[in-house]
Amino acid sequence: MWSMTLKRLMFAIPSLIGVVIITFLLTRALPGDPAAYFAGPAATQEAISQVRAKLGLDKSLLVQFTRYVGDLARGDLGNSLTTGQPVVTEIRNRLPASAELTLLGLIVSVLIAVPLGILAATKPDSLIDHACRLVTTAGVSLPVFFTGLILVYVFYYLLGWAPAPLGRLDIFFSTPPQITGFYLIDSLLTGKFDLFRAALSQLLLPALTLAIFSLAPIARMTRASMLAVLASDFVRTARASGLTPFTVIVTYAFRNAMLPVITTLGMVFSFLLGANVLVEKVFAWPGIGSYAVEALLASDFAPVQGFVLTMAVLYVALNLIIDILYGLIDPRVRIEA
């Protein structure tokens, strides 16, 4: 187990180095001149070159790169020009916001998608199978901002059940002391239950939006892999031995069908974390996706580099966790490794 973990980590190093080089080069290849942008509307050529020198953009690419790697080694991701804050601080503040939302969305999605997929697989071509197909197709084909706006319109504007889509907390609550950065957890740890409730009510609609969008891959994957497993010999044997359908499906079949579902979950999670920009925009959520996009629009190098790097590290960590989970679920993987 440990050797596998270590081996995995070793494999990650070259990809991280690659990511560092590529993000650096890509951000430099962006059109637009950050110096001209930040010199302001009425700047002269002279003012622009002053700003350029200040930002260190007048140096050669190699010098800039060495400096970047040097800073990186000290854990310094640079300063964002658009928000004026150090990138590390911003990511530390914003990543939990995105992660909390994405995790909750994923949990909601799994709670709906996995049973739906299992039911659809046990009764192929039945009403429930068609319902599953309809729900997943609809979920994946509606753009997230559209689902989000519809939810806001119905639950906030028309019915008034949901709170105003104003980000993580209503304006009259102050943020809980930062322990994990997850408001739900932090508010519980400090025993502030009204804060927990407020944070949860802000989270519900965006999480639901994400859940609707991510239903499809999870439900379809569960269905497909359950179908394959249900058709296999050991299931037939189990059935022939007179086990109850519940034991056959949940204990024997589902456990074997879980591997591809876990892989999909990992993929969906990392995809959602970076790609829920639109949900963040609709719900004014101070997440990491909208941060990166705003920085990109302003040719603001440092946050873009920081974002891509954080995402790469997260990917590596996530893959590692999935690999370990594989071993826990399926002993064969453990033995082969």
Partner 1 sequence: MKRRQFLKSMTAVAAGSMVPAPAIWSSAKAQSRQETLLIVSESGPNNIDIHGVGTNVPGYEVSWNCYDRLISHEMKTVNGTPYYDKDKFKPELAEDMKIGDMSATFKLKKKAKFHDGTPVTANDVKWSLDRAVTVGGFPTFQMRAGSLEKPEQFVVVDDHTIRIDFLRKDRLTIPDLAVVVPCVLNSGLVKKNATEKDPWGMEFTKQNTAGSGAYRVTSWTAGTEVVMERNDDWLGGPLPKVKRVVWRIVPSAGNRRALLERGDADISYDLPNKDFVELKSAGKLSIISTPYSNGIQYIGMNVKIPPFDNPKVRQAVAYAIPYQKIMDAVLFGLSKPMFGAPANAPTQVAWPQPTKFNTDIAKAKQLMAEAGYPNGFETTMSFDLGFAGVNEPLCVLTQESLAQIGIKVTINKIPGANWRTELNKKVLPLYTNVFSGWLDYPEYFFIWCYHGKNSIFNTMSYQSKEVDAYIDGAVTAAAAGNKAEYEKDVKGFVDRVYADIPRIPVYQPYVNVAMQKNIFGYQYWFHRRLDYRSFVKG
Candidate segments 98-106, 123-131, 149-157, 247-255, binder of partner 1 by CB under 8 A: 149-157
Collapsed DSSP state (helix, strand, coil) of residue 179: coil
Of 14, 75, 160, 331, which one interacts with partner 1 (CB under 8 A)? 160
Candidate segments 6-14, 27-35, 227-235, 256-264, binder of partner 1 by CB under 8 A: 27-35
- 31 scored as a contact of partner 1 (CB under 8 A): yes
- 186 scored as a contact of partner 1 (CB under 8 A): no
Rounded least distance, CB 44 to partner 1, Å = 8
Angle at 301 between CA 300 and CA 303, to 5 degrees: 85
What contacts 173, CB < 8 A, 6 or more positions away? 194, 195, 198, 199
Rounded least distance, CB 163 to partner 1, Å = 4
- Tell me if 316 sits within 8 A of 10, measured CB to CB: no
Rounded least distance, CB 313 to partner 1, Å = 23
- 167 scored as a contact of partner 1 (CB under 8 A): yes
| Region of residue 175 (phi > 0: left; psi between -120 and 50: alpha; otherwise: beta) | beta
Collect contacts of 86-91 with beta carbons under 8 A, ≥24 apart. 87/302, 87/303, 87/305, 87/306, 88/306, 90/291, 90/303, 90/306, 91/288, 91/291, 91/306, 91/307, 91/310
- 42 scored as a contact of partner 1 (CB under 8 A): yes
Residue with tokens 């009259």: 172
- 153 scored as a contact of partner 1 (CB under 8 A): yes
Of 149, 224, 324, 337, which one interacts with partner 1 (CB under 8 A)? 149
Angle at 76 between CA 7 and CA 72, to 5 degrees: 40
- 73 scored as a contact of partner 1 (CB under 8 A): no
Residues that bind partner 1 (CB under 8 A): 31-34, 36-44, 47-48, 50-51, 54, 80-85, 90, 93, 145, 149, 152-153, 156-157, 160-167, 170-172, 194, 198, 201, 281-284, 286, 290-291, 294, 297-299
